[in-house]
Amino acid sequence: MDNYISATRKLLLLLFFISFSHMSAAVCVQANLAGIWYLNGFSGDTLESSFLETDFCKIKINASGSILGNASSCKARVPEGVFTVNLTGGNLNLNAGCRITGRINYCDPELQQCGFAIRIDQAQLDRGKTVMSISGFDSTDTEAVVHFVGIKR
């Protein structure tokens, strides 16, 4: 009987250890976002079902989650050609569950106007903290959406 209890206890401990290890791997801290991210994705209009823009972005994030506008930009390929989209700032916040939220501020090359933002509401960092998947929408035109997958260098 004692042996049985001991074996059960060991098994429980093992399960606890495995569970704890798993949980600890999923925990994220803000600093995990710091660095240079290269994102590939597309953007478009849900109302018009038009997703003709592909984007390649570089986003530099500091340890506080601020996007460094001077070191971040996107190249947007549309049927008319390739345009540089200036990212002016913003911030991305990471919670313990590895969920990312925040905003990426940008200038619209077509309107030649700044002060716009992509709101990131659904995004996740992977367990290895080097890959993120991002979905967001334009804060002034919610039908305009983006989807990116990013890798950290």
Given the complex with other proteins, which of 3 and 113 has the nearer CB atom? 113
Instruction: Verify binding: residue 131, other proteins, rule CB under 8 A.
Output: no
Given the complex with other proteins, which of 74 and 123 has the nearer CB atom? 74
Phi then psi dihedrals of residue 30, to 5 deg: -50, -40
Hey, what are 82's tokens?
């390739």
- Which of 6, 64, 95, 122 is the binder for other proteins (CB under 8 A)? 64
User: Minimal CA–CA distance to 91: which of 120, 128, 131?
Assistant: 120
d(CA 98, CA 58): 21
Minimum CB separation from other proteins for residue 76, in Å? 12
d(CA 111, CA 11): 63
What percent helix, strand, coil does the chain show, rounded to 5? 20, 60, 20
Site stretch for other proteins (CB under 8 A), options 8-16, 45-53, 118-126, 129-137: 45-53
The site for other proteins (CB under 8 A) is made up of 30-31, 36, 38, 48, 50-52, 56, 58, 60, 62-64, 66, 68-71, 73, 75, 78-80, 86, 88-90, 105, 107-108, 110-111, 113-116, 138, 140-141, 153
